[in-house]
Structure 1
Amino acid sequence: MNTYKKTLIINFVLAFTSLLFSLGAVELVAWFWESGLMNSPHGWELVASRRICVKASHNPDINAVLCPNRNYTWENNLVEINLHGIRDVVHSFEKPEGTYRILSLGDSVAFGWENGLEDTYTKQIETMAHGDGYVNTETINAGIMGWDLPIERAYLEETGLKYDPDVIIVEVTVHNDIYPQRYTVPSPSMAKWLRDNTYSWGFASHISRKMKENIGTLHAEASSNSIYPFPLDKHDIQWDEFIRTPIREMARLATENNAEFIVVIFPTDAQVQSIDYPTTAQSVIKDLESDGIQVLDLLPVYRTVYQQLDTQPNELNPLFADATSHPSALGHSLAAEAIYEMLMK
Structure 2
Amino acid sequence: MKVKWPSPVLLVLVSLILGIGLFEISVRILKVHHNINPFWRYHPIIGWSQVPNLRYEYLLNGEKVRVVFNSKGFHDVEHSLEKPLGTRRIVLVGDSFSEALQVNLEETFFRRLEKKLNQRGTDKWEVINLGVGDFGTTQEWVAMTQLGLKYSPDVVICQIFPLNDICNNTIELCDLCKSYNDHYRPYFVISNGELRLTSAQPLRNLLRRYFAAYGVVEHAILKGKGRKLETDFERRYTEGIQKMGLAPLGPSLYTYVPDQEQPEVVAKGWRVTEKILEKMNSWCKERNIQFIPVVIPFEACVGAKNWRSFASGSSPPMIQDYPEKRLGRLFDRLGLPAVLLKEPFERNIDLVLPYVGGHFNAEGHRVTAEAIYSKMVEIGLVTTKT
Answer whether TM exceeds 0.5 for this pair. Answer: yes
Contact kept? 1:147, 1:183, Cα under 8 Å: no
State the secondary structure of the residue aligned to 2:72: coil
Distance 1:106 1:237 in 2: 21
2:247 to 218, 225, 247: 225
How far apart are residue 225 of structure 1 and its match? 3.1
Please state if 1:138 is matched with 2:180.
Answer: no
Asked if 2 retains the 8 angstrom alpha-carbon contact of 1:79 and 1:87, the reply is: yes
Q: How many Å apart are 1:174 and its aligned residue?
A: 2.7
Q: Aligned to 1:278, which of 320, 327, 339?
A: 320
User: Does structure 1 conserve the Cα–Cα contact (< 8 Å) formed by 2:354 and 2:361?
Assistant: yes
Count of residue correspondences? 267
Conserved? CA contact 2:141–2:276, under 8 Å: yes
Alpha-carbon RMSD across the aligned residues, in angstroms, is 3.3
Which string of whole-angstrom CA distances, capped at 9 and with x for unpartnered residues, describes residues 31-65 of structure 1?
xxxxxxxxxxxxxxxxxx9521321x323xx3322
Aligned to 1:305: 348
Alpha-carbon separation, structure 2, partners of 1:226 and 1:92: 48
Letter of the structure 2 residue corresponding to residue 278 of structure 1: Q
Is residue 2:39 matched to residue 1:52?
yes
State the one-letter code of the partner of 1:54: R
Note if contact 1:232-1:278 (Cα within 8 Å) is conserved in structure 2. no
Identity of aligned pairs, percent?
25
Q: Aligned residue for 1:4?
A: none
Match of residue 22 from structure 2: none
Q: Distance in 2 between matches of 1:170 and 1:265?
A: 8
Is residue 161 from structure 1 mapped to residue 166 from structure 2 by the alignment? no
Say which is worse superposed, 62-71 or 85-94, in terms of deviation.
62-71
Task: Confirm whether residue 102 of structure 1 aligns to residue 90 of structure 2.
Answer: yes
Name the TM-score, length of structure 1 as normaliser.
0.69
Map 1:5-154 onto structure 2 (within 5 A): 50-55=37-42, 57-59=43-45, 62-75=46-59, 76-132=64-120, 134=122, 136-154=124-142
One-letter identity of the residue aligned with 1:58: P
SS for the counterpart of 1:179 is helix
Query: What letter is aligned with 2:40?
Result: C
Instruction: Give 2:162's match in structure 1, choosing from 171, 174, 178.
Output: 174
Q: SS of the residue aligned with 1:159?
A: helix
For residues 280-327 of structure 1, the C-alpha deviation after alignment (integer angstroms, 9 at most, x for no partner) is 111121112211122111111111221xx39xxxxxx735112x3x11
Letter in structure 1 aligned against 2:98: A
Change (3 A) 1:85 1:333: same
1:294 pairs with 302, 314, 337, which one? Answer: 337
The Cα offsets for residues 163-195 of structure 1, whole Å up to 9 and x where unpaired, read as: 111111111113311122455269423662698
Cα deviation 1:118-176 (Å, max 9, x = unaligned): 11111111111222254621111111001010111011111111111111111111331
